[in-house]
Amino acid sequence: MDQPDDQQVICAVMNGNVNAYSILVQQYQKPIFNLMYRVTGSYEDAKDLAQETFIKAYEKLDHFRTGARFFPWLYTIGYNHARNFVQRGKSFQQSSDEDFENNSGLDYPSQHEERVLAQIDFLRIYQALDQLPVDYREAVILHYHEGLSMEDIATALQLSVSGAKMRVHRGIKKLREIILGDDHETERSALADR
């Protein structure tokens, strides 16, 4: 996930070049924003939390261990920040299909029929991910979607490596159970309609 020059960018920031930080923000704003959206289900809250995460990371940059990978460290800050937000009693909103409708700004590409079909699959995945406990969901997304190693997931979620492996493995199993459960429900309703 890290580009080879993350360390150099951090050095430049630490030496007073504040503009260099924009490189890191640009590079990681998408996964951090998506993390916040998954946790809050609100576009506005996700934007605010992502912004606060980057500001917090900037303020804590003195404590960043040289040689470590930046993204897992940033993700830990964002993850804890999001959890604190939820614990403070902010209501959690499930992301709805309407969020992803065409021209909403959150829509998926849908010019072709295949894409529409794929979109249905992705929507189902999104809905299933929403039902997954947050710890499992983030482990699954970090591994399969963000491509992080088990070591990096362990760092980001403050787990042992074996704990991270277990989360990913069980997460995908739970996800399957949710999706298959949905499938069975759909089939049952279709049969009932007939």
Partner 1 sequence: MKQKDPPWPTVDSKTAGSEDKTPKQKRRREPSLCNQMEQLTDKDFQIAHWVQKMPDLEPPSNLLTSVMQSIQPKKLSWMQRVALWAKSPKSFTFTPLRLAPVAVALIGILFVSGYWIYRQKDLRFYPTQSESQIPIVFNLSIPDAQAVAVVGTFNGWKPRGYEMQFNPDKKIWSLTVRLPEGRYEYAFLVDGQRVLPDPEASLYQDDGFGNENSVMILRTKDEKTT
Q: Where do we find the tokens 């029929």?
A: 113
Task: Note whether 75 binds partner 1 by CB under 8 A.
Answer: no
Contact 119, 150 (CB under 8 A): no
Report the chain's terminal Cα–Cα distance, integer Å.
50
Question: Interface with partner 1 by CB under 8 A: which range of 17-25, 76-84, 86-94, 184-192?
Answer: 17-25
Residue 126 interacts with partner 1 (CB under 8 A)? yes
By residue count, the chain amounts to 194
**Interaction of residue 176 with partner 1, rule CB under 8 A:** yes
Residues 100-119 binding partner 1 (CB under 8 A) are 105-106, 108-109, 118
Minimum Å distance from CB 8 to partner 1?
8
Does 1 participate in binding partner 1 (rule CB under 8 A)?
A: yes
| Rg of the Cα atoms in the chain | 19
Q: Does 22 participate in binding partner 1 (rule CB under 8 A)?
A: yes
60 forms part of the interface with partner 1 (CB under 8 A): no
In degrees and rounded to multiples of 5, residue 185 shows phi and psi of -60, -45
Torsion sign over Cα 148, 40, 59, 14 = positive
Choices 73-81, 84-92, 147-155, 186-194 (CB under 8 A): range interacting with partner 1: 147-155
DSSP code of residue 109: P
Nearest distance in Å: CB 192, partner 1: 25
